[in-house]
A and B are shown apart, each in its own frame.
Chain A
Amino acid sequence: MNVILIAVCVLGLIGLASAVILFVVSHKFAVHEDPRIAQVGAVLPQANCGGCGYPGCSGFAAACVKAANEGSLEGKLCPVGGQPVMEQVAGILGMTVEATAPKVAVVRCNGSCENRPRLVKFDGVQSCKVQQMIGMGETGCSYGCYGCGDCVASCKFGAIHINPVTLLPEVDEDKCTACGACAKACPRQIIEVRLKGPKNRRMVVLCNNKDKGAIANKWCKASCIGCGKCQKVCEKFEAITVTKNLAYIDAEKCKLCRKCEEACPKGAIHAINMPPRKPKTEEPAAQKTPSIQNTPTQNVEPSKAE
């Protein structure tokens, strides 16, 4: 009987002492985590893509809460969730977010097999980065798509794939979250995350070639030659700039008038998701377009090294 009593007392004392220690320690070393971080984390898509610039969704949630404490959510955007998710986040944090226009990845190269003939065959590891180290790829263009699909491998949403006919990557606009992983993966910076535009309509220069016009024209039928005609027709809006022999359309300034598309002698400017053009009644323009598009490319040399 005595033995049992001693055991109960000793264990009881140990238990009491432990409880006191635990109580003191849990108060003394308590880490205060804002409960809102978990709440914000719960509404995020949990894709952990890194498109926001933070290491995963929890990192972004913490950054949002910190920014809210400092007074503004400006510059914070989850590209995957977009506006709806950001509104939810703002609701939790008691803030407001400005409307941000949705974006989408755009492949700025139209050097399909037809437009840009393959001169040689690269038989090494099928990776754009490996090709980048070795040289200019299989065609004569030193700025165009390698077609090995590093962007496809980098996409966590299955939104990009290589078209087997053109050997160019194509973006599935419904799946694309504009996280920018493909743009980072592309060693030639061909992919740009651009504004989706009103009704998903946008004007894009589908070329990345910064060579002089003669060289760009020699190796690709669809290259921008930096002639500046598009810049001239866009004088009113000043949306187009030509730097280093390459035209660029500022999506924020572009009014989708499609004049540049018409003016481009190489057909490098594309109107995406726009209805087909109505046939023009004015004669000169109608005549101009076909003759320009059939511009013969200069002697594209057959493969020598192949």
Chain B
Amino acid sequence: MKTFKIGGVHPAENKLSADQPIREAQLPKQAIFSMFQHIGAPANAVVKKGDMVKVGTLLGEAGGFVSAPIYSSVSGKVNKVDVALDASGLRRMAVYVDVDGDEWEESIDRSSTLVKLSDRPELDSKTIIEKVKNAGIVGMGGATFPCHVKLSPPPGCKAECVIINAVECEPYLTADHRLMLEHPEEIIVGLQLIMKAVDVKKGYIGIENNKPDAIKLMTEKAKGYKGVEIVPLKVKYPQGGEKQLIDAVIGRQVPAPPAIPINVGAVVQNVGTAFAIYQAVMKNKPLIDRIITVTGKSVKQPSNLLARLGTPLQQLIDECGGLPEDTGKIIGGGPMMGKALLSLDVPMTKGSSGLLIMRQDEAKRAEAAPCIRCAKCVNACPMGLEPYLLAKVSELRDWDAAEHEGITSCIECGSCQFTCPSHRPLLDYIRLGKSTVMGIIKSRK
């Protein structure tokens, strides 16, 4: 079975909510829409206090090419435009909407009938990209990179295939898995739309082997669509990393930065993004909701919730049985790459793929011991780096050495720290080194 070639680890899967069907979360009383839900320039709020909005009303317009607009996911009255705490721990501009009823913009098609690409022959590449751009779609796997940028390859690059990332290699998370089981054909149509947008004939959907039901269903459904192939993959973290997935599916290696996947002819999109693209193009629905896994070993009811963006995370936890007594950490995202949250007043954003509640005993970091030079981290690194060395030079603030050792190639997957028998905080230091070196490189230009 296919997988990527260098490194990787296999943490305990803990997919507690894998057989929980997606259910709709309740509407919040007040929704908070951060203007920073994507990488790139923040959106600029276009509403003001007292404005009435519906589901699908534009709240913030894109602040540049690498940016995305923000739409309201609820109907009601704008309470204020002010700073709000977001998952990154910063206070940034946001629009607060007091929810009143559930009125949708008329342009949105809310029926569940499947619209195939053959039903809409008039769609061409330009229209699709334009619609994706206007719908505010970003990478839904968590990186939140504006989607239309990836669909518009830079001059001189030509896409050869589209790869849908349905790997969900993070432990605990099951949102993508459930999405595939419940909306298989919509995802495939979404893939076809991406293929059309970048003008390629071949599309792959990479699924890890721990989701046999999804592989079976998708393979069955894909038979009716030309050029779509389901690729089962061996279970290994971080297979969901863009570069690792390209290696696993088509066997090509993306060179070190500044090279990007399009340089080897691949366009990678998350399965959630494919679904959002389907909804945006075929149903005219902007990105206003997403599936989020709320899980944890002591959570009463681990669930996959279809929640509106802007819903406070506290409410999502309440719907899954409330915050357990022995909570040690609350993590936005999965356990490997997610970020511990400071507060539950933080609203859900476009990149919220999961909410993991760790028990106190799980959350506690083991005390770091000295490095014993076992080189387990070197074996685990999917980018072929030497994490122990990068961490050390970053600790000693030797930024030249860090750059020379390729710290900017690090994808911050955390495999090194996960595998370290001495529990050294490798990633903390590498992140520090990487961000500093990136700053230095930027300042040189």
The answer to whether A and B come from one shared complex is yes
- How far is B84's CA from A212's CA once the two chains are assembled, in angstroms? 11
Asked if A135 and B83 sit within 8 Å, CB to CB, the answer is no
- How far is B90's CA from A211's CA once the two chains are assembled, in angstroms? 11
Asked if A127 and B432 sit within 8 Å, CB to CB, the answer is yes
Q: Chain A's nearest CB lies how many Å from the CB of B316?
A: 14
Name B424's closest neighbour in chain A (CB-CB): A125
Interface residues on B, range: 20 to 34
Main secondary structure of the interface of A (DSSP, over half): loop
> Do A142 and B90 form a contact, CB below 8 Å, given A130-B429, A211-B83?
yes
Chain A residues whose C-beta falls within 8 Å of the C-beta of B429 in the assembled complex: 125, 130
- How far is B91's CA from A15's CA once the two chains are assembled, in angstroms? 78
Chain A residues whose C-beta falls within 8 Å of the C-beta of B432 in the assembled complex: 125, 127, 129-130, 133
- How far is B82's CA from A305's CA once the two chains are assembled, in angstroms? 24
Q: Does A136 contact B (CB under 8 A)?
A: yes
Chain B residues whose C-beta falls within 8 Å of the C-beta of A125 in the assembled complex: 425, 428-429, 432
User: B79-97: contact bitstring with A at CB < 8 Å (1 yes, 0 no)?
Assistant: 0001100001111000000
Chain B residues whose C-beta falls within 8 Å of the C-beta of A212 in the assembled complex: 82-83
Chain B residues whose C-beta falls within 8 Å of the C-beta of A133 in the assembled complex: 431-432, 435
Q: Does B348 contact A (CB under 8 A)?
A: no
Chain B residues whose C-beta falls within 8 Å of the C-beta of A119 in the assembled complex: 342-343
Q: Does A304 contact B (CB under 8 A)?
A: yes
Q: Does A124 contact B (CB under 8 A)?
A: yes
Chain B residues whose C-beta falls within 8 Å of the C-beta of A215 in the assembled complex: 83, 91
- How far is B85's CA from A119's CA once the two chains are assembled, in angstroms? 14
Most B C-beta atoms less than 10 A away, residue of A119, A125, A215: A125
Asked if A305 and B83 sit within 8 Å, CB to CB, the answer is no
Q: Does B339 contact A (CB under 8 A)?
A: yes
Q: Does A31 contact B (CB under 8 A)?
A: no
Name B427's closest neighbour in chain A (CB-CB): A124
Asked if A135 and B330 sit within 8 Å, CB to CB, the answer is no
Q: Does A235 contact B (CB under 8 A)?
A: no
Chain A residues whose C-beta falls within 8 Å of the C-beta of B83 in the assembled complex: 211-212, 215
Asked if A135 and B89 sit within 8 Å, CB to CB, the answer is yes
Q: Chain A's nearest CB lies how many Å from the CB of B359?
A: 13
Q: Chain A's nearest CB lies how many Å from the CB of B367?
A: 10
Asked if A304 and B90 sit within 8 Å, CB to CB, the answer is no
User: B330-347: contact bitstring with A at CB < 8 Å (1 yes, 0 no)?
Assistant: 100000000111111000
Asked if B88 and A135 sit within 8 Å, CB to CB, the answer is yes
Q: Does A123 contact B (CB under 8 A)?
A: yes
- How far is B91's CA from A135's CA once the two chains are assembled, in angstroms? 10
Partner of B91, one of A123, A137, A211: A211
Q: Does B158 contact A (CB under 8 A)?
A: no
Q: Chain B's nearest CB lies how many Å from the CB of A255?
A: 36
- How far is B93's CA from A211's CA once the two chains are assembled, in angstroms? 12
Interface residues on A, range: 20 to 34
- How far is B341's CA from A119's CA once the two chains are assembled, in angstroms? 11
Asked if B428 and A130 sit within 8 Å, CB to CB, the answer is yes
Q: Chain B's nearest CB lies how many Å from the CB of A211?
A: 6
Asked if B365 and A123 sit within 8 Å, CB to CB, the answer is yes
Name B341's closest neighbour in chain A (CB-CB): A305
Q: Chain B's nearest CB lies how many Å from the CB of A23?
A: 42
Asked if B342 and A136 sit within 8 Å, CB to CB, the answer is yes
Q: Chain A's nearest CB lies how many Å from the CB of B420?
A: 14
Q: Does A134 contact B (CB under 8 A)?
A: yes
Chain A residues whose C-beta falls within 8 Å of the C-beta of B431 in the assembled complex: 130, 133
- How far is B368's CA from A123's CA once the two chains are assembled, in angstroms? 11
Q: Does B2 contact A (CB under 8 A)?
A: no
Partner of A135, one of B90, B323, B344: B90
Q: Does A120 contact B (CB under 8 A)?
A: yes
- How far is B439's CA from A129's CA once the two chains are assembled, in angstroms? 13
Asked if B428 and A124 sit within 8 Å, CB to CB, the answer is yes
Q: Does B392 contact A (CB under 8 A)?
A: no
Of residues 164 through 196 on chain B, the ones whose CB sits less than 8 Å from some CB of chain A are none
Of residues 193 through 219 on chain A, the ones whose CB sits less than 8 Å from some CB of chain B are 211-212, 215
Asked if A142 and B339 sit within 8 Å, CB to CB, the answer is no
Asked if A120 and B365 sit within 8 Å, CB to CB, the answer is no
User: A133-145: contact bitstring with B at CB < 8 Å (1 yes, 0 no)?
Assistant: 1111100101000
Asked if A124 and B342 sit within 8 Å, CB to CB, the answer is no
Chain B residues whose C-beta falls within 8 Å of the C-beta of A123 in the assembled complex: 364-365
- How far is B332's CA from A135's CA once the two chains are assembled, in angstroms? 13
- How far is B120's CA from A91's CA once the two chains are assembled, in angstroms? 87
- How far is B91's CA from A142's CA once the two chains are assembled, in angstroms? 8
Name A136's closest neighbour in chain B (CB-CB): B89
Chain B residues whose C-beta falls within 8 Å of the C-beta of A127 in the assembled complex: 428, 432
- How far is B83's CA from A199's CA once the two chains are assembled, in angstroms? 42
Name A119's closest neighbour in chain B (CB-CB): B342
Asked if A136 and B344 sit within 8 Å, CB to CB, the answer is no
Chain A residues whose C-beta falls within 8 Å of the C-beta of B341 in the assembled complex: 305
What are the nearest 9 A-B pairs in CB distance?
Answer: A135-B89, A136-B89, A125-B428, A125-B425, A123-B365, A124-B428, A130-B428, A305-B330, A130-B432
Q: Given known contacts A120-B342, A133-B435, A134-B339, what 15 new A-B pairs fall within 8 Å (CB)?
A: A125-B428, A125-B429, A130-B428, A130-B429, A133-B432, A135-B342, A136-B89, A136-B90, A137-B89, A211-B83, A212-B82, A215-B91, A304-B330, A304-B344, A305-B329
